[in-house]
A and B are shown apart, each in its own frame.
Chain A
């Protein structure tokens, strides 16, 4: 085997290894971003359910009205709230935040995060899905800028960097339901 042949095989081997690395990198990014978005959307339907039970003394329900209380986390449509109440009121007070836009956003954000989480996880129209996800996080960043929450802005900035990294590796996309976009 000549030196040239050896070198060519090495390059080919390095390229294959590099390609595999990029495939795995993108897969990890899809998993992280997808789960992050999906679960964040699901959490918009979460709430706390309080239960109370009359205390028994000497085996009988006490006559004073003493109760044991417990709270548990539950999910349901009745608990749906995209923008937390306190934050909603503060955003509403911002002159640059149109009330009707906030109301629409409050309705759409949760379902949007679930849909985009699923499409990124399954690799459906990955480029568009990632781009749309980036727009959602940018819109969230706008709200946090209005409220002056710098830590949250930085946190969302990390999400954007991860989305950009995923977009740069999207040609290595494998294990997808629909690759065309």
Chain B
């Protein structure tokens, strides 16, 4: 762990940071790789954190964070007293001390002068403001994905992170998941078990029941004035912000962001075009499409042209849950956070994977089954596939490795797996799916669409 400059140096860590960051802004800006490798504001062993936003996602993050040693939960902030009390109670019950409670994030940031990091788990349309305010106040930030509900807000987060020189991790948690990292590094890129990847297929199909509006006892909802102050027209917007265009990117951003990020990360590339179709087929009163299908085209250095199909459906959970599949000439890796949706197949004509199995790089699940001759025409059928599995699992909550990576980076032991610029470059194509579906338009993506300095903005 790096020594805390505050303890050993009369110049305070934060003063040093502010002066140093301003002086070095020119150097830092445009040099993200330097940012990724240097802990410029490394905290002491105990990292003091605060939560902005204490809803369902905060609970998920806290459940993972409580397993990570060396974190002091100094403050919690939410406009809903019930959620604030819940977060306060969970911290007290787990660690035996009381975090400070705030309704307003700006007040918290100005009052809590010795915070090291802020965890932002608010609705998407608040991410940029909360992240930028925190960074400008000298705090490192761990922010939920999607970075923001507009591409311009997301760009501002990258600029602020890079101008302050502070760490800003975006919660694309699969990027720290050992199963994903192993699959990408070893199976797809090192051993190239898929051969040439030509097609990707991803989906998140969610049942109608799991996609219903959220409703709570009206007595625990903040009053109308508070809601309006914080950007919500009414209680329904407050509880169901994911369905509103001014507050969120909708299901393609909410669910699709995780998986389209995996497309881009595994291919080490971004798409050159997108064409999409969407509709309000079941939840007809919602502003966002409840079903969206998108096709991205890539021109990758490693595999050549690649097409990726992605669908997010909120009218059915059929079709095998949620996964990302990388389909190559020699094999297919279908990976998911859930082991049950993870499958690896070898094409019958591909070179044997026996040596990989002997080395425990893969585990064989089932040999190829004989072709069914009962209801198929043999000459039209492809030979059966051998089925394999990854050699191990993640035995932690799925968000824990990404949070560990963030805190290890703050301590100078690691580099961020998904800093703001990395996240932006991966998320940028997603901002163009809704416009493509809305205008029924094929969009050729350029630097103007996809870069931090690009000038084009997308409608939500």
Interface residues of A (CB under 8 A from B): 50, 52, 54-58, 62, 64-69
Contacts and interface: CB of A to CB of B under 8 A. Distances in A.
B395 A52 contact: yes
B77 interface: no
A66 B178 contact: yes
B178 A69 contact: no
Interface string B288-313: 00000000000000000000000000
B180 to A, nearest CB: 9
Contacts of A52: 395
Given A55-B360, A57-B359, A64 B182 contact: yes
A58 B181 CA distance: 18
A68 B395 CA distance: 8
Contacts of B185: 64
Interface of A, secondary structure class, is strand
A69 B360 contact: no
A54 B360 CA distance: 12
A52 B395 CA distance: 8
B401 interface: yes
Interface stretch (B78-86, B112-120, B320-328, B385-393): B385-393
Given A55-B391, A55-B392, A66 B182 contact: yes
A65 B178 contact: yes
B393 A68 contact: yes
B235 interface: no
Interface string B426-438: 0000000000000
Q: How large is the interface on B (under 10, 10 to 19, 20 to 34, 35 or more residues)?
A: 10 to 19
A136 B143 CA distance: 54
Interface string B395-411: 10000010000000000
Nearest to A57: B360
The 6 closest A-B pairs by CB, nearest first: A66-B392, A55-B392, A65-B178, A64-B178, A64-B182, A52-B395
Nearest to A65: B178
A62 B390 CA distance: 12
Contacts of B178: 64-66
A57 B391 contact: yes
B392 A68 contact: yes
24 contacts: A50-B395, A55-B360, A55-B391, A55-B392, A56-B360, A57-B359, A57-B360, A57-B361, A58-B359, A62-B391, A62-B392, A64-B178, A64-B185, A65-B394, A65-B401, A66-B178, A66-B182, A66-B390, A66-B394, A67-B393, A67-B395, A68-B392, A68-B393, A69-B393
B179 interface: yes
B359 A67 contact: no
Interface in B35-80: none
Contacts of B360: 55-58
B182 A69 contact: no
A52 B178 CA distance: 15
A54 to B, nearest CB: 8
Contact of A67 (B181, B361, B392): B392
Nearest to A53: B392
B100 to A, nearest CB: 30
Interface string B176-197: 0011011001000000000000
Interface in B269-296: none
B309 to A, nearest CB: 28
B182 A62 contact: yes
Given A55-B360, A66-B179, 19 more contacts: A50-B395, A52-B395, A54-B392, A57-B361, A57-B391, A58-B359, A58-B360, A58-B361, A62-B182, A62-B391, A64-B178, A64-B182, A64-B185, A65-B394, A66-B391, A66-B393, A66-B394, A67-B392, A67-B394
Interface in B323-380: 359-361
Contact of A64 (B181, B359, B395): B181
Nearest to A69: B395
Contacts of A66: 178-179, 182, 390-394
A87 B395 CA distance: 27
Contacts of B391: 55, 57, 62, 66
Contacts of A64: 178, 181-182, 185
A130 B400 CA distance: 52
The residue in A56, A57, A69 that gathers the most chain B C-beta atoms within 10 A of its C-beta is A57
Contacts of A67: 392-395
A64 B185 CA distance: 10
A156 to B, nearest CB: 34
Contacts of B359: 57-58
A62 B394 CA distance: 13
A79 to B, nearest CB: 20
Contacts of B401: 65
Contacts of A55: 360, 391-392
Contacts of B361: 57-58
Contacts of B394: 65-67
Contacts of A57: 359-361, 391
A57 B190 CA distance: 14
B304 to A, nearest CB: 28
The residue in A50, A54, A67 that gathers the most chain B C-beta atoms within 10 A of its C-beta is A67
A58 to B, nearest CB: 5
Contacts of B182: 62, 64, 66
A22 B63 CA distance: 59
A52 B392 CA distance: 10
Nearest to B401: A65
A54 B394 CA distance: 10
